[in-house]
């Protein structure tokens, strides 16, 4: 099982960025946590602040496919038709994750360019959301 985890723009700042909202944990903590679960999964952890680099990372699925993606595109969630089109062009199956509950925040965060093409969206559960996505993948995505 190969899973691509993408964290997008500004998520490299986790740990020091708006800690009341996003907590004190860093992306390295997320990685350590997922690896410590000893899932039978080959994770590819990727972070970039660049829309272009994220588009190109998603394109790699065409040549070397992943089984699933778990994606948090940060603010690009609410703006990026380019990342949406990249996903549609390679047909990667994915979960959308947000650390914070975007629906309890500003109106501009209520629009996602990804929720209608995702298997599902998990919002508001901090880093647990990434874990829930992996566990759902392991359990099987059809039915419960």
Name the residues annotated as catalytic: 22, 98
Q: What is the largest CA-CA distance in the chain?
A: 40
Taking the least distance from each CB to ligand DQA, the nearer of 74 and 137 is 74
Whose CB is nearest to ligand DQA?
A: 74
Minimum distance of ligand DQA from residue 90's CB (angstroms): 22
Question: Which of 107, 96, 113, 131 is closest to 25 using CA atoms?
Answer: 131
Binding string, 105-134, against ligand DQA, x = CB under 6 A?
A: ----x-------------------------
Minimum distance of ligand DQA from residue 116's CB (angstroms): 17
Binding string, 69-108, against ligand DQA, x = CB under 6 A?
A: ---x-xx-x--------------------xxx-x------
Are 133 and 122 in contact by the 8 Å Cβ rule? The answer is yes
What do you get for the CA distance between the two ends of the chain, in Å? Answer: 19
The backbone torsions φ and ψ at residue 142, rounded to the nearest 5 degrees and listed phi first, read -95, 130
Question: Which of 141, 1, 3 is closest to 61 using CA atoms?
Answer: 3
Contacts to ligand DQA by CB under 6 A: 10, 72, 74-75, 77, 98-100, 102, 109
């Amino acid at each position: 099982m190969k899973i691509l985890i993408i964290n997008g723009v500004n998520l490299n700042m986790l740990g020091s960025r708006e800690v009341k909202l996003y907590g004190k944990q860093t992306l390295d903590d997320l990685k350590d946590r997922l690896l410590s679960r000893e899932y039978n999964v080959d994770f590819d952890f990727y972070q970039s602040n660049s829309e272009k680099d994220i588009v190109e990372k998603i394109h790699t699925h065409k040549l070397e496919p992943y089984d699933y993606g778990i994606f948090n595109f940060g603010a690009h969630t609410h703006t990026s038709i380019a990342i949406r089109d990249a996903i549609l062009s390679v047909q990667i199956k994915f979960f959308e994750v947000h650390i914070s509950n975007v629906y309890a925040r500003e109106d501009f965060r209520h629009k996602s360019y990804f929720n209608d093409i995702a298997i599902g969206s998990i919002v508001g559960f901090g880093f647990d959301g990434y874990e829930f996505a992996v566990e759902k993948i392991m359990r099987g995505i059809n039915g419960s």
